[in-house]
Amino acid sequence: MLVKRYMQTKLVTVGPDERANASLYVMKKKGIRHLLVTDNSKLLGIVTDRDFRLARPSPATSLSIYEVHYLLEKLKVKEIMTKKPVTVAPETPIADAARLLLNRRIGALPVVKDSKLVGIITETDIIRALIDLEEARES
């Protein structure tokens, strides 16, 4: 079983200069937790829902709600993204991708072929592969 069988190829991407708030809105609208940051199909980084939570000020802040919104509106994706994310190739065995997710404690791996972003494989995709494997054993 290879990554290319289970990876998602309909990618949601943003540019590095995209406003963080706009990118978070895209993630919520699409129901995704990982957003790939690209420049002409070249992977620059990945931003997750956790990155957005960490970028917000503490609830104990002395800033007014207006100041918080003003600061968050100025924030760009490139300021909070993970640069040089761990990647896999489409031909990577699914078990190797699962080990990377587990050992690195991350939720997704961009899939790159010939320096071009071609997909993403997430924890959910790995679970889907496990279910397929189990169903194949049962039949």
Number of domains, the chain: 1
> What pLDDT does residue 13 have?
93
DSSP per position, 40-90? TTEEEEEEEHHHHHHHSPPTT--S-HHHHHHHHHH-BHHHHSEES---B-T
Per DSSP, what are the bridge partners of residue 35? 47
Which of 118, 128, 117 is closest to 94 using CA atoms? 128
> What pLDDT does residue 29 have?
93
Tokens coding 9: 């190829």
> What pLDDT does residue 120 have?
97
Q: Which domain holds residue 114?
A: 3-138
> What pLDDT does residue 107 have?
94
Distance CA 35, CA 12 (A): 6
> What pLDDT does residue 115 have?
86
Which of 6, 83, 99 is closest to 42 using CA atoms? 83
Q: What is the pTM of this model?
A: 0.83
Q: Which CATH number characterizes residue 96's domain?
A: 3.10.580.10
> What pLDDT does residue 97 have?
97
User: For the chain, which ranges sit under pLDDT 70?
Assistant: 56-66, 68-69
